[in-house]
């Protein structure tokens, strides 16, 4: 395999390998019920942004994505590699990358629990131990707009709402989860969903839950397994059905 330069999303990963990882991320999120044919994962490279194309008769469910389907856009969202059109909401990705040089991957989903919790704009309480080590700040960010992010202006508004966070609700729409790699962004999205499920369940009881304290979160973070281990598990979930 040729080692290409120009990729800094995951050190040592080729462009082709990164396209496979972006496609795999879509299949994993689909397997977990967090996306259907909508939503997209992207990764930044020095040569552009790798992203899932717009859904079409050829690009259908996320469960069928392969690396060869991936396209590359520039920072304005213009197609620079591939045959398929960029997603209408490519500006979610471009405007976040523009403002956050630390972010190498963006996950956008309409995952059900986190999206529902975003409707009530309530703080996301740290309730579950491992998810709380990833989603430690109850203020996960909220962009109070249900519109499709179909231009750079809306993307910029969303990116401003994200600020320096790892997450943000798109109210009445979905979420974004950011990371230093595709793997990290996906794991964060999964942890956000688990934490949101617990929050919704507790909210429905009307009872006050015991929250995990900042000190406990620090301990959990120091003992937590690396993202690579969790990614290996998620990958197996998808490979088991192939």
By the criterion CB under 5 A, which residues form the site for Zn ion? 174
From the list 157, 139, 147, the residue with the least C-alpha distance to 98 is 157
Which residue number, 13 or 115, has a Cβ lying nearer to Zn ion? 115
Which residue number, 189 or 212, has a Cβ lying nearer to Zn ion? 189
Work out the burial of residue 169: count CB atoms within 10 Å of its CB; fewer than 13 is exposed, 13-18 middle, 19 or more buried: buried
Q: Are the C-beta atoms of residues 133 and 218 closer than 8 Å to each other? A: no
Q: Could you give the CA distance from residue 61 to residue 195 in angstroms, rounded to a whole number?
A: 26
Which residue number, 40 or 230, has a Cβ lying nearer to Zn ion? 40
In the complex, least distance from residue 102 CB atom to Zn ion, rounded to whole angstroms: 23
In the complex, least distance from residue 162 CB atom to Zn ion, rounded to whole angstroms: 14
Q: Could you give the CA distance from residue 35 to residue 110 in angstroms, rounded to a whole number?
A: 6
Which residue number, 10 or 43, has a Cβ lying nearer to Zn ion? 43
From the list 107, 241, 216, the residue with the least C-alpha distance to 168 is 107
In the complex, least distance from residue 52 CB atom to Zn ion, rounded to whole angstroms: 12
In the complex, least distance from residue 84 CB atom to Zn ion, rounded to whole angstroms: 17
E strand intervals along 47-88: 48-51, 71-73, 79-81
């Amino acid at each position: 395999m040729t080692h290409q330069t120009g990729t800094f999303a995951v050190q040592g990963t080729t462009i082709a390998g990164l396209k496979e990882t972006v496609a795999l991320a879509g299949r994993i999120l689909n397997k977990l019920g967090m996306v259907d044919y909508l939503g997209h994962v992207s990764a930044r490279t020095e040569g552009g942004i790798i992203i899932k194309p717009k859904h079409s008769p050829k690009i259908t469910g996320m469960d069928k994505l392969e690396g060869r389907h991936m396209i590359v856009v520039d920072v304005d969202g213009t197609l620079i590699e591939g045959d398929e059109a960029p997603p209408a909401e490519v500006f979610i990705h471009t405007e976040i990358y523009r403002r956050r040089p630390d972010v190498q991957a963006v996950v956008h989903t309409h995952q059900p629990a986190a999206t529902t919790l975003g409707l009530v704009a309530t703080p996301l309480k740290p309730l579950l131990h491992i998810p709380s080590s990833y989603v430690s700040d109850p203020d996960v960010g909220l962009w109070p707009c249900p519109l499709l992010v179909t231009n750079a202006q809306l993307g910029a508004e969303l990116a401003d709402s994200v600020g320096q966070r790892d997450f943000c609700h798109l109210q009445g729409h979905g979420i974004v989860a950011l990371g230093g790699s595709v793997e990290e962004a996906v794991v964060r999205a999964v942890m956000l969903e688990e934490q949101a499920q617990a929050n919704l369940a507790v909210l429905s009881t009307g009872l006050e839950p015991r929250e995990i304290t900042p000190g406990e979160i620090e301990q959990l973070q120091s003992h937590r397994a690396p993202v690579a281990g969790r990614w290996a598990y998620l990958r197996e979930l998808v490979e088991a059905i192939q």
